Amino acid sequence: MEPYVLEWLNLLGRWFHLIAGIAWIGSSFYFVWLDAHLHAPRDRAEGERLDLAGEVWSVHGGGFYRAQKFKVAPPELPEPLHWFKWEAYSTWMSGMFMLVLMYWLGARVYLVDPAVADLAPGTAVAIAAAFLVGGWLVYDALCRSRLGDNEPVLAAILLVLCSLAAWGLCQLFSGRGAFIHFGAMLGTIMAANVFFVIIPGQKALVRAKQAGLPPEPIHGIRGKQRSVHNTYFTLPVIFTMISNHYAVLTQHPFAWLALVGMSVAGATIRLYLVLRHRGQSKPLLLAVGIVSLAGTFVLAMPRPVAPQAGAAAPSLAQVRVVVEQRCVGCHAAQPTYPGFASPPKNVVLDSAESIVRQAQAIHQQTVVTRAMPIGNLTQITDAERAVIDGWYRAGAKP
């Protein structure tokens, strides 16, 4: 019963995480768009009287909307005042729930890869947690330092540090474990920005207004900086959330470089879109993003394996022996490997017919990307991978 319960926890946690993430990203993207489309108030007298930074008129859902932004605060605080924070908190909490459920409790399966680093599960989890906490502490310290006032320099330093983090994670964990923890580190920074900087700053503005004191503009400046950083982190984080489906990247010998390439592409493309909203066309940024994607594509391109001259092609019977010993524990109608209630991706390999039908996927996962078995839990050998490779290249004959 336990694997079945775990599968349902996985389903419900992932579903909630996706819903919360959509709400957070949607509101974040909307407010970035809103700031980029502010215009001088149509009523100049009202704008000067209220000290408005700008306004936006829009139409949606059959109605017209007028959004105004104050330079600091309105003359009187309205009721109710809506806060945007639980979208971030619920996304982070549900993401941590999934991280703990899948990668920390299942560290031996999903996080640790003995071929990368033979870590004890407890040690691996401690290191993973240190990356999440340490990432925020270093980032926050940089933003609060003098470097935080120089965005280009800060961006360059963060790129170097994130690249080092990607490299370090890929030297310690399985490919998918490294990628998801890189995303979790950025996601933790994003949520911490909201919890420790953006919301406290907004509360300080409200308290000052309630006390009849002039609000300090620094809170708005810091909150805006962290909010903008969050929008640039968003696309790299989303990429890491789906990266476990793409072993061609996570299992590559230079997986860390692929992770950096995809993250740079996401961040620069997002920056291009934000500036474009402001009427600033920066095609060079878009070009950098596209080049980064293209470079990652070339980097991850599978290299052809030269067949052994004069060697007879392995038979299906030989392949079936390998599959039964190394794969069927998980990929069976009723998996026998602990923790699996159903075969991953519903791939069943417990018959000759199913092996032939899934020949391309088997070759891709065990030979090209070497993603399977996960963490090489069943200790498949290179010689056994060569059996699958030879059979597939000879036509995967029944």
pLDDT per residue over 374-392, tens digit each?
878 788 888 899 899 989 9
Q: pLDDT tens across 205-227, in order?
A: 889 888 888 878 888 889 989 99
What pLDDT is attached to residue 219? 85
Q: What is the pLDDT of residues 21-66, one digit of tens each?
A: 999 999 999 998 998 899 999 999 999 898 899 999 999 999 999 9
Q: What pLDDT was estimated at residue 249?
A: 94
Question: Measured between alpha carbons, how far is 251 from 365 in angstroms, rounded to an integer?
Answer: 10
Selected residue with higher pLDDT from 310 and 339:
339
pTM of the model: 0.87
Q: Return the percentage of the chain with pLDDT > 90, whole number.
A: 64
Where do we find the tokens 């920005």?
Answer: 193
pLDDT tens sequence across 150-197: 999 999 999 999 999 999 999 999 999 999 999 999 999 999 999 999
Query: For the residues 273-290, what does the mean pLDDT come to?
Result: 92
pLDDT in the model for residue 308: 58
Reply yes or no on whether the pLDDT at 123 is more than 60.
Answer: yes
What value does the mean pLDDT take over residues 5-25? 94
Nearest to 131 by CA among 95, 181, 171: 181
